[in-house]
Chains A and B, each alone.
Chain A
Amino acid sequence: MKALIFSIALSTIFFAACNSNGTKQATSETTDMAMNETAATADNPLKGIVTGYLNLKNALAKDDDKGAADAGNGLVKVFDGFDKSSLTADQAKIFADIQTDAREHAEHIGSNAGNIGHQREHFETLSKDVYDLVKVTGAGEKLYYSNCPMYNNNKGASWLSETKDIHNPYLGMSMETCGAVKEELN
């Protein structure tokens, strides 16, 4: 019985995943084109988001849960007030997908001062969200995508940084320099 219910639940979700699959592939093809278009734009629409994210990252690297919460709340406001008119239609579509998720992570980080472990869990997924966004629209500044292999029982996690030097936001001051740059973004 148990197995039956699990497999029903599983296949329901597979179905849902199949449905969204078609559109996903279509958008990823147009992503590359969109990237070239915006690479030349000087004033990047993502600036507010990137700045808010980096504030958050720096607070976590200093083990500052209150600062991280403030940065998280700030990021929620940036997402809410984001002007999508500066994005192309394809970018706006991807942005909408990422926005719901990223905003939610920022909100959780904002409401979890005093629980930096939980803030870091959400920061991990948020980092992937912001990375995917930057890949689509460009960052407007030099960013380094770094990885710490030790976080989360050696599963590892990545983050974006404005510096090439490692200041680990997952392990904080206890392992400040753990990690390495994996990719440079512009």
Chain B
Amino acid sequence: MILSVACYDCHSNNTRYPWYANIQPGSWWMASHIKEGKNGLNFDEFASYSNRRQQSKLKSIVNSINNGTMPLSSYTLIHKEAILSKEDKMSIKNWANTIKDSLELRN
């Protein structure tokens, strides 16, 4: 639930396009961000990543939440619902770490 609200716009194939997607330069600016976001991590393609790459991505998720680099501040500026509370951050990190640990055991 948190992931879909705060992350999926740029990290999945299910982008909910906002009003400014229809006007320039909003649309150009957004398209480049989404392309970059999906390139780095796409939840819809996650299952096709190798075990090694899945672990890498989960680790990066935890790091980017810890560092506060994600969600991008330029994104949360407009999408207030994507601002993560302490609890949100905690549950995303726990979720990512749990899966990462289980993937590690399968190595």
| A interface, CB within 8 angstroms of B | 1-2, 5-6, 9-10, 12-18, 20-21, 24, 97-98, 100-101, 104-105, 117-118, 121, 125, 129
Contact = CB atoms under 8 A, between A and B. Distances in A.
Contacts of B102: 14, 17
Interface string B45-60: 0111011111010011
Interface residues of B, number: 26
B16 interface: no
Given A12-B47, A97-B50, A118-B69, 8 more contacts: A10-B99, A16-B47, A16-B48, A16-B54, A17-B102, A17-B106, A121-B59, A129-B52
B95 A10 contact: yes
A121 B63 contact: yes
Contacts of B4: 5
A150 B56 CA distance: 21
B40 to A, nearest CB: 9
27 contacts: A1-B1, A6-B1, A9-B3, A12-B47, A13-B46, A13-B54, A13-B99, A14-B99, A15-B47, A16-B47, A17-B51, A17-B54, A20-B50, A20-B51, A24-B51, A24-B106, A97-B52, A98-B52, A100-B50, A101-B50, A101-B53, A104-B53, A104-B56, A105-B56, A118-B67, A125-B59, A129-B52
